[in-house]
Structure 1
């Protein structure tokens, strides 16, 4: 079957199901720019604007996408992806009818007769153009300063981001790098992409990359023997934004990032980085990278308070009404969601998306009663407090009246050894840090020393009720 009105209707239904399942944010980021090109002979031809987007969809959503196509189109065995405006390498294959320049050499997702899941075999067209080198991660057009909801918990981060975005080419860089850190879902990515949109609109050369995308591009450049061009292109931009820095891995990649960071900062080019924790806690990063990142402006985005949560929900409802004009959400529902979904702004987005999906798919009016049922797994969900080793050292030092310097020192007196062992024990039981990482944070001690301390305190706690009560008290203090 060739593509026709019915094919478009089926594709529209697939997109509607994806939007309802994944939420507006995820759908807009990854599927809003996926187009249906053709459907014939059991093959669905889809196109995307970038190779990165193609790779991401294939790695994260290929099985679900194939299942939806099989539901809507019937007998679908393959999905072929193409990158719009890319050039097809010479391999003798014909482009889908009407696809024109959209086709590239991308071998299909195939479902073997004996297996329920498809096998993906794909080849990457090689491109060494400067434009391709500087192709960044996808930007969500909704992530702008105009759509960011400001409150007490994020006002400093918002102001710093605006200052960076408003800096004109040639003007002195106010603070470099700007480092934003926060737990998941508190607006770091929104701010970084807002900076990218505003700076691009002002004519600056901007590159926004996730750490994963940076690693992918660097490895691809090495494989294609275009690493020098990749490095030169990176160092010729005005503004570099790196998201999810905690995922940057690999010694060679970190070294190259450090060189790029130094080159840009020394050349008065702006760098903005976001991560889920401050540089000192990114133990997997090279020490030189952590030191350079810590030398800029560090801003933490806090959890939203009730007033900010209420305004976030209101803003998301207003945006939903533009898509569904007949949608009605009462102030009571807005208050209910804001008071009970307290973990992050992203969960608030998900709550609104879920209510809208229930309304559109079932026709049930959005009410507090409906919200209680639809959002029961989100209500009053609180992320466990993230305990830091610095907090453990501070509270243990204060409780036992020893200095932090003593905890990190080589002193072996009983008044210092026992608190040090308790602090190491708490670090191992209350944080995800490894034994070597904990050892480094306690005066560069060997991991066997930490292991001995942990086992010693475990033994004592089982036999000494007074010590067990002290350790429980310290845990409550850290959790408070």
Structure 2
């Protein structure tokens, strides 16, 4: 058996994880592999461990080949991987629980549901995170709480709505149902969803379950295989607050139908549902119209880009947190200001920049200077992205330009003063957004995609021959992109 205490073995394992993170991306790596450890390399087998049975099952089902490839890239002799669930005997030096988190023996509560028996761990019998995973929830990050969430102008409303949901008690009237949060990557959606879960479960009054869309689908597939689908559905519908992350990844007609049934059952029973995705409900083209309509019927809030002031405060907060574990780590105010002005894309890039400076400071003992910062984070400075144009904005601005109403553009009217603006709006929707022809047709009163294609081709032709129309279209594009 290989000695895992050698520097070379630890370095090899670090390189394998680095390859894996590069292949699957930061999000998937954090969700499924961040807590995977190497226990031993024995002949042709790499023995790995994870803390829960669910993680073991998921990785074996979806990523075992990829993990093996990453191992073989570092060590050709490895022909297979073996994943086990860690126990107290496996861990050499388990971390001592805090006084307020000393786990009692896990009690199991059995619920009879349509003849099936579903075991639910009693939340009061174990720490919040352990009880949550035992109930089938996705892993929770202890750092993602309301205390560590930075509030700014771009997320004030979303944060307030999330706090209201987390603070509600069983029996209270549900105000926002569902609460639907949408934003681009790295702007804090997952942070707020997990904060709701931590706070809600800590109160002990309600049961809050956090699931990624992937975990939601996996749960149903596993229940079907084990012939406990009815019990699984009933258990889900007994949740007080169901939190679903990354809804844009929910695929398949059957799975969407199950989600729709679960959503309707919970809302109709007065239970809270919280959903997050990377775009508003109307833009989730792969989802069934009924699901999109139900999601849009709640409170839909957008988390905008992080402003410079908020980026500055996030960096200051992260530096302060890092200093608690790494004494002597100092970042001059001028460097903090430079990074907050230069890295504008999302919060994860800010984290990446700070991690590079921390690594440089700890591993080389170099002080963090402006010259060092400019060199280390230059690849994280991205060109400013153009404004994302929405079909609703196109319809509103075109209607104003041609002195018609938005309802005229969506109507079946065929008069000349409506047909031309409608065709221009369809043309702009195709050229300025990523929406498909069928989706554009649906957003213009349920028209067929061939109607949209005809409008696009006609305006393309006229723009090349009619100078006046070309000027109008250019003016509309400038207004939409300002």
Match of 2:9 in 1: 10
Distance 2:223 2:134 in 1: 9
Distance 1:133 1:286 in 2: 31
Q: Which runs of 5+ in 1 are unaligned?
A: 86-97, 101-126
- The offset of 1:74, in angstroms, is 7.8
Q: 1:99 to 1:193 in 2, by over 3 A?
A: same
Match of 2:202 in 1: 201
Match of 2:124 in 1: none
Match of 1:470 in 2: 472
Q: Is the 8 A contact 1:264 1:270 kept in 2?
A: yes
* Deviating more after overlay: 44-53 vs 141-150: 44-53
Distance 2:433 2:54 in 1: 34
Q: Is the 8 A contact 2:72 2:79 kept in 1?
A: no
- The offset of 1:57, in angstroms, is 8.7
Q: Which runs of 5+ in 2 are unaligned?
A: 92-116, 122-132
Question: Residues 37-63 of structure 1, C-alpha deviation per residue, up to 9 Å, x if partnerless?
Answer: 222113220011235534359856965
Aligned pairs (5 A) from 1:54-69: 54=56, 55=58, 59=62, 63=66, 67=70
Distance 2:65 2:369 in 1: 35
Distance 2:26 2:438 in 1: 41
- The offset of 1:452, in angstroms, is 0.6
Q: Is the 8 A contact 1:193 1:208 kept in 2?
A: yes
Q: 1:4 to 1:408 in 2, by over 3 A?
A: closer
Distance 1:327 1:16 in 2: 26
Q: Is the 8 A contact 2:3 2:9 kept in 1?
A: no
SS in 2 for 1:254: helix
Q: 1:448 to 1:183 in 2, by over 3 A?
A: same
Question: Residues 1-36 of structure 1, C-alpha deviation per residue, up to 9 Å, x if partnerless?
Answer: 2555338x7337734885797799876544442122
- The offset of 1:229, in angstroms, is 1.3
Distance 2:452 2:403 in 1: 21
Q: 1:273 to 1:200 in 2, by over 3 A?
A: same
Distance 1:392 1:333 in 2: 40
Question: Residues 422-467 of structure 1, C-alpha deviation per residue, up to 9 Å, x if partnerless?
Answer: 1111111111111111111111111111111111111111222322
* Deviating more after overlay: 315-324 vs 465-474: 315-324
Q: 1:169 to 1:382 in 2, by over 3 A?
A: same
Match of 1:226 in 2: 228
Question: Residues 110-153 of structure 1, C-alpha deviation per residue, up to 9 Å, x if partnerless?
Answer: xxxxxxxxxxxxxxxxx975568841211111111111111121
Match of 2:251 in 1: 249
Q: Taking structure 2 as the reference length, what is the TM-score of the superposition?
A: 0.83
Q: 1:60 to 1:363 in 2, by over 3 A?
A: farther
Aligned pairs (5 A) from 1:43-442: 43-50=45-52, 52-54=54-56, 55=58, 59=62, 63=66, 67=70, 71=74, 75-84=77-86, 129-130=119-120, 134-203=135-204, 204-442=206-444
Q: Is the 8 A contact 1:28 1:140 kept in 2?
A: no
Q: Is the 8 A contact 2:4 2:39 kept in 1?
A: no
Question: Residues 396-430 of structure 1, C-alpha deviation per residue, up to 9 Å, x if partnerless?
Answer: 11111111111112222222111111111111111
- The offset of 1:349, in angstroms, is 1.7
Question: Residues 334-377 of structure 1, C-alpha deviation per residue, up to 9 Å, x if partnerless?
Answer: 11110111122222222222333344455543222222222222
SS in 2 for 1:208: strand
- The offset of 1:300, in angstroms, is 1.5
RMSD (Å) for aligned C-alpha atoms:
2.9
* Deviating more after overlay: 361-370 vs 312-321: 361-370
Q: Is the 8 A contact 2:68 2:79 kept in 1?
A: no
Q: Is the 8 A contact 1:50 1:83 kept in 2?
A: yes
Aligned residues: 440
Match of 1:460 in 2: 462
